[in-house]
Structure 1
Amino acid sequence: MRSVKSRTIDNARSRLLNYKHKAEGNGHSSRLPCSPEDLMLRILNAMVDQYLELRQPLTQQLDRWQHALLDPRRPFKNWFALLDSRIELRKLDSLYEEQRDALQELRDHIVDTHDGSDSGDGRAKDLLLVRTNDVMEHISRVLNHARRLEASLESAVQIHFSAMAHRTSEIMRTLTVITALFMPLTLITGIFGMNFVEMPLLKHAAGFWITMGMMLAIVIILLLYFRSQRYLEDKASKRRD
């Protein structure tokens, strides 16, 4: 079955209707199909070549999606289009896998029925076998390209989620460091907020500044410890690297 309006079928019909016999000495004119199988292979080859022409725009679209997936400044939102493209690649893979299997059966039939003679029928089968191998090679190219695109698409999605997980981990580490810095400060403020009449430094003239200095010293010591344990990343050194 085929669609009612097929550009490939229309072009094949036009070439056959406008065909002129090859003039003497003109080696560039194409010949008429020698059999229905030959005509079928020509039409199928033209259809496959149309998909080969789509490789460049498909690759460019995939490159744009990869950049969008890995852009940290803008969250990727075009997930439905990405999923639709993956579904279409799967359909293309399945379609051409079936076509390659069918052509493999046709080639096996041609080889099994070929008697190896140099008669006209034998030469026609040789040409048909050559054309079948050529169409199968084109189909294999489309299959390989579709599978490469699908693998690249899945890799880009995996890298996207890995980058999101890494970004979340960085945020959680920053929040953890801030929490660790303020925990002793909260403890000190909680102790000095108790309702006791007699407390150290409570009535001292410089008690407030001594307490603030002690809290600052704790923060500095913790920062130095975190830096020594590589809990904090030096962004400036990363930029220099």
Structure 2
Amino acid sequence: MGQLDGRTAVVTGGSAGIGLAAAKRFAADGAHVYVTGRRTPELEAAVAEIGPLATPFRGDVSEIVELDRLAATITAAGERIDVLLANAGGGSFRTLEDVTEEHFDQIFRTNVRGLVFTVQKMLPLLVDGASVILTGSTAAFTGNPAFGVYGASKGAVHAIARVWANELSGRRIRVNTLAPGYIETPGLLAGAGDEQAKERARGRLSAGVPLGRLGRAEEAADAAMFLAGDQSTFMTGAELVVDGGESRRR
């Protein structure tokens, strides 16, 4: 018997990285998982990897019409949501001098606007006592150079979670933030260059982590599973940091 047997989960941005690892973990524990992603080939590959308990949904969380369509799809299936992992997000890194309007708008459109309306549109479908998990980041409080706009967007996520934890407490809906640090995902080293450059980047990033390595997406997914399941039923408004101790060295 899995911890999530008979339950329904939604994972946005679930076609790669932490989202994919979490969707696999939820399905392995028995949940029917709706997995969203923007690109069909990656989404189809992810669902094949997750297995028969996964249902793909191609859409962009920054488009409200797509969120309405997701809610309608789940409603038509006669399901309610027990676990919502609002994970879709990302962004590039620029110092203050290099920030542009496009850079700012793109990051906040997905990381903040998309997240807010994901939860709002799924709210009528959440069961009382559901678990809502927002993917934040240690960038919200580490102050790393060139992470200004990205860190600000994730700081907003952390703040929103604390407010929603209070607003939704009447329905016993728990809202917690998963705060990953340097997790080795396709996005982390995407701009590093060739394989040799990526290996140098791994070395630089790992040097700042007390545990001496980058995290694995599966380790972040295990933390998400803890927040999704019944072992964390007295947690809400909390930040669960998964970073090998990197943010605590500052």
Structure with more of its chain in helix, by fraction = 1
Structure with more of its chain in strand, by fraction = 2
- TM-score, with length taken from structure 1: 0.25
Q: Work out which of the two has the higher radius of gyration on C-alpha atoms and give 1 or 2.
A: 1
- TM-score, with length taken from structure 2: 0.25
